[in-house]
Amino acid sequence: MSPPSIDPRSGFSPTTRTFYSLRPETPLPPESFPNSAAEFALSLFHSASLPPHPALIDAFSSASLSFPSLLSQSSSLATALRSSPFNLSPGSVAFILSPSRLEISVLYLALISIGVIVSPANPASSSSEISYQLALSKSSIAFSVSSVASKIPSQIPTVILDSPSFTSLLSSNLPKSPLPTIKQSDTAAILYSSGTTGRVKGVGITHRNLIACIADTHARRINILAEAAAAGELPPPQTVALFTIPLFHVFGFFMLFRSVALGETTVLMERFEFGAMLKAIEKHKVTFVPAAPPLIVGLAKSPDVLRFDLSSLETLAVGGAPLGRELAEQFVARFPDVELVQGYGLTESCGSVSATIGPEESKFYGSAGRLGANLEAKIVDPTSGEALGPCQRGELWLRGPVIMKGYVGDDEATSTTLDKEGWLKTGDLCYFNEDGFLYIVDRLKELIKYKAYQVPPAELELILHTLPGIADAAVTPYPDEEAGEIPMAFIVRQPGTNLTEKDVMDFVAKQVAPYKKIRRVAFVNAIPKSPAGKILLAFILSPSRLEISVLYLALISIGVIVSPANPASSSSEISYQLALSKSSIAFSVSSVASKIPSQIPTVILDSPSFTSLLSSNLPKSPLPTIKQSDTAAILYSSGTTGRVKGVALTHRNLIVCIAATHARRINKLAEAAAAGVPPPPQTVTLFTIPLFHVFGFFMLFRSVALGETTVLMERFEFGAMLKAIEKHKVTFVPAAPPLIVGLAKSPDVLRFDLSSLDTMLVGGAPLGRELAEQFVGRFPNVELVQGYGLTESCGGGSATIGLEESKFYGSAGRLGSNLEAKIVDPVTGEALGPCQRGELWFRGPIIMKGYVGDDEATSSTLDKEGWLKTGDLCYFNEDGFLYIVDRLKELIKYKAYQVPPAELELILHTVPGIADAAVIPYPDEEAGEIPMAFVVRQPGTNLTEKEVMDFVAKQVAPYKKIRRVAFVNAIPKSPAGKILRRELVNQAQSCLPSKL
């Protein structure tokens, strides 16, 4: 039922303060009725039989695809993709990286018909941008043309579209099965939008959104046919649409489904060239072109246009920016019979909001037309929140069936853009006139604040584009002491012109109010663009340096989330982490700053400008209020899946860890005082573990809290470490396990005075008795603290405390204070007692908040009662000491047995002549998996495969025997010393045949 008291002229209701569409309501299928957008589009062919004309034409090659072929190929492809080896199912996400090609249309229809979420991206994107988008969308498969496939990370299975294997899928003879049931509320596509922040967002478009858009265009087509019939006229000729806008853009994406639903011929351009477009219009008798605004400039002004017969053109649909009256009149003067449809839409509204319809409406130059069917709008005062009436400027809000589901993996952006009543806040400053026409003034966040005035850059840019000699222009705010901000123009001159700053400023000044005048001009080769956004999360890419400690403390003290990463990471890995963390600023040393995508503002730590910040004299203001439950840091962990996860640690997590170490220090001092002995000497800690690792990250705060001296190593070198211990009288070293091997065995150790050493803290893998005894034999006065922790537990978990506990070699110590643990049978879920092996579960105040942007991983790792499932096979002995057997997922499945690699590695480290070793599962037809050892020989030794295998065989059950050996120069490890088993598995499978 229509709301009361609607002005039939403007569509505004004073009662609800809402604008309603003046278009006839478009009937939509019931929302509860299962339907995919592809199925709906294909059901709307306007003739009983399939159209005889081509469905698709390639503008460059003139290759074409008929409607029968389109349907046949999409059906065959859908069947193939649901079958092995693809096994795609509803909810899977397919990333598509390709220019506009005939196959893309087939692929879109096939994927969407089986409920797979389509996520197309710009093939001109950089590898880092693509990694960022893949992380946002959580794509499990990619489709790409061969020319850009290398930009997709190797871990993503990729189908090459211009390959014989893909072509064969289009005509596969696999038996057809019924299409899966798809809800209209299911996500159909994830399209990418930067909005005004510069940070790419994944826009979740539902099948219902697409169906509403398709139904609206189909209804308009039916109305046109009905009007022609009623007037006794011939129906309009069959539409031939030329797509100059790529299919990965929301406009091109939707227009493809529109063309299919209306049975139109679509001419695709793999790459846009103005001359090729003119040629295609002439050759294929194109009637309709959806276009970006710059195209209108070319058609209106270019002399090349006059060399082609463009008489078939009937309609141009233009969106993206308002058209100025002068430009529109120039176009109409050259093309008097072409209807210039002006429209407005966003990725978040499935590309559809408003448009002019018919020759009369198209004369409202500068307008974006009237509100589309089934839509409501408000104009909201940005300051007061009051809903305004006609001819009043405010932020445009929209509601209706075309509005997105939300931003994928970004609840914060979704909640600030979509309110609880379903209103989409566009961020655009707009107004409706008294006839219900929408006018876009500018982006709210881009208004220039000149004295008491607000100056819209878009208004000045429209004027600049009418100045002869200007190829492109942009207007930005420029800081000014007196005015606050002044309008500054960036100008790209047309070749051969010599415009001056005065020419530009005088031209604009004659057409605007004094406060809107351009007051600075810069001539550039291209328009520079800079991202904007509130700094909430800081990405840090640097080795361990003095500045990093200062930076961590500064950022965390003001509530900025710290997200440090390994500077040795590749550009694509860094982009992936940036996507997970949604960082809005980066801090990096100059040597690796180029790995950070250009759209992320980056502060160079080894620059004079950063150094000046460390001694700035700005007036201090009170620190912001920060809740202990707020996220303090996002650290990166691969867990057992190989997929990097962002671990969110809260201020509370860090506080509890710091408090525990501080309490232990106080206890030590109290014990010394009670015994009448001097307090322990001041601690000097050497960090061999980098500050981006959870162990190094927490230890920094520990050292600050305890007032300890910290010695940092920018890069680890064994000899440099020994020298640093001697030089700085180091007493405490938190270390990765391989370091103990070096200290216990290396002859280099004997050349240095390491007598200051008091404590070594080791985690990451259990220490074998023999190795521990070798270390203690060399360093009898050093306490060997063995511990266990995860990134997900802020690095804490268990540890040995004191000389007596440290003698429990192979143990990870006793459970830390304030912690609870369970040992759970992985099969039955039963909680077990002492000396029984099962998965270790933790609960307590050091447990992470969750995995950022990965609800699935969070829910599978953290249960509703707060238990963290570690994935480690462990047991507690009768004295409460924890023993780590292995990673559950790393157990080798040999026939009916499970073999722990860590157990075999401990034995291998006792073999004379072995410097390092790792054990992995290796596939075997008979056994399933067999244990394979990678061995690093000590210099000057000649161990053989047989010697290694025989040594182990004498000490283990037959099913645990090593059955293959490879000798290597080094075992690949993470910065924390964890063995990178997947690299070894890949290495083994690439060059070795399996055998027993």
Query: Is 896 a residue whose pLDDT tops 60?
Result: no
Residue-wise pLDDT tens digits, 231-257 = 888 888 889 999 988 899 898 899 999
406 Cβ contact partners less than 8 Å away, ≥ 6 residues apart: 204, 414, 418
Backbone angles phi, psi at 521, to 5 degrees: -135, 135
| Tokens at 426, concatenated | 């566009």
98 close to 145: Cβ distance less than 8 angstroms: yes
Higher local confidence (pLDDT), 618 or 267: 267
Please provide residue 126's backbone torsions phi and psi, each rounded to the nearest 5 degrees: -75, 165
Residue 361, classed as helix, strand or coil, is: helix
Q: What is the CATH number of domain 680-886?
A: 3.40.50.12780
Residues with Cβ within 8 Å of 74's Cβ and at least 6 positions away in sequence, in order, are 38, 106, 109, 110, 113
Closest CA to 961 of 923, 908, 913, 884: 908
Residue showing tokens 């963390």: 581
Q: What's the CA gap between 218 and 221, in Å, rounded?
A: 5
Residue with tokens 């500018």: 442
Residue 806 vs residues 730, 761, 781, 793: alpha-carbon distances, Å: 20, 10, 12, 22
Question: Region 754-773: what's the mean pLDDT?
Answer: 84
- Give the position of tokens 């220019």: 99
Q: Average pLDDT for residues 692-712, to the nearest whole number?
A: 92
Whether the per-residue pLDDT at 492 is higher than 90: the answer is no
Average pLDDT, the chain: 87
Instruction: Identify the H or E element spanning 847.
Output: none
Domain ranges for the chain: 67-208, 453-523, 541-556+565-626, 680-886, 891-991
Asked if residue 209 has pLDDT above 50, the reply is: yes
CB-CB contact of 469 with 497 (8 Å) = yes
Spatial contact of 788 and 812, defined as CB atoms under 8 Å apart: yes
Q: Which residue has the higher pLDDT, 451 or 412?
A: 412
Q: How many CB atoms lie within 10 A of CB 710?
A: 19
Find, among 878, 897, 874, the residue nearest to 824 by Cα: 874
Same fold across 680-886 and 891-991: no
Give the DSSP per-residue string, 868-936: EEEEEEEEE-TTSBEEEEEEGGG-EEETTEEE-HHHHHHHHTTSTTEEEEEEEEEEETTTEEEEEEEEE
pLDDT band at 575 (very low <50, low <70, confident <90, very high): confident
Region 120-145: what's the mean pLDDT? 87
Cα dihedral sign, 704-706-708-711: negative
Does the domain formed by 891-991 have CATH 3.30.300.30?
Answer: yes
What is the spatial distance between Cα 932 and Cα 365, in angstroms, rounded to a whole number?
74
Predicted TM-score (pTM) of the model is: 0.58
Structural tokens at position 922 = 């290796």
What pLDDT does residue 640 have?
36
Residue 819's pLDDT band, with cuts at 50, 70 and 90, is: very high
Q: What is the pLDDT of residues 840-871, one digit of tens each?
A: 999 999 999 999 878 888 988 999 999 999 98
Phi-psi region of 813 (alpha: psi -120 to 50; beta: other; left: phi over 0): left
Amino acid at 259: S
pLDDT digits (tens, 9 = 90+) for 772-795: 888 999 999 999 999 999 999 999
d(CA 647, CA 323): 47
Question: Is a pLDDT exceeding 90 seen at residue 338?
Answer: yes
The secondary structure element, H or E, covering residue 663 is helix 651-675
Helix (H) or strand (E) holding 838: strand 838-843
Q: Specify whether the CB–CB gap between 961 and 928 falls below 8 A.
A: no
Q: Reply yes or no on whether the pLDDT at 383 is more than 70.
A: yes
pLDDT of residue 227: 85
Q: What is the pLDDT of residues 349-380, one digit of tens each?
A: 999 999 999 889 988 888 999 999 999 999 99
Kind plus residue range of the DSSP H or E element containing 279? helix 274-284
692 alpha carbon, distance to own chain's centre: 20
Q: Is the dihedral of CA 320, 325, 330, 332 positive or negative?
A: positive
**770 class by beta-carbon count within 10 Å (0-12 exposed, 13-18 middle, 19+ buried):** middle
- Cα 803 to Cα 674, 778, 850, 944: the distances in Å are 19, 16, 36, 39
- Whether the bond between 85 and the residue before it is cis, its omega within 30 degrees of 0, is yes
* 612 CB burial (10 A radius; 0-12, 13-18, 19+): exposed
Within 8 A by CB and 6+ apart from 710, the residues are 549, 685, 687, 700, 703
88 phi, psi to nearest 5 deg: -75, 145
Question: What three-state secondary structure class fits 66?
Answer: strand
DSSP per-residue string spanning 459-505: HHHHHHTTSTTEEEEEEEEEEETTTEEEEEEEEEEPTT----HHHHH
Which residue type is seen at 670? A
One-letter amino acid of 913: G
Strands 484-493 and 470-480, bridge-based pairing: antiparallel
- In the structure encoding, which two tokens stand for residue 619, read together? 């007036």
Percent of the chain with pLDDT over 70: 92
Tokens of 347: 């990725």
- The fourth-level CATH superfamily of domain 453-523 is ANL, C-terminal domain (3.30.300.30)
Q: In this predicted structure, what is the pLDDT of residue 532?
A: 25
Q: Are 113 and 137 in contact (CB under 8 A)?
A: no
* CATH ID of 67-208, from 3.90.1150.10, 3.40.50.980, 2.60.40.10, 3.40.630.30: 3.40.50.980
Distance CA 356, CA 921 (A): 65
Could you tell me the pLDDT band of residue 531, with boundaries at 50, 70 and 90?
A: very low
Q: What is the pLDDT of residues 880-890, one digit of tens each?
A: 999 988 777 77
E strands, 60-151, are: 64-66, 93-97, 117-121, 141-144
Burial class (CB in 10 A: 0-12, 13-18, 19+), 926: exposed
Does residue 473 contact residue 491 with C-beta atoms inside 8 Å? yes
383: tokens are: 């300051």
Taking 90 as the threshold, does the pLDDT of residue 113 lie above it? yes
Other Cβ atoms less than 10 A from the Cβ of 582: the count is 24
Measured over the CA atoms of residue 692, residue 697, residue 699 and residue 700, the dihedral's sign is: positive
pLDDT band of residue 514 (cuts 50, 70, 90) is confident
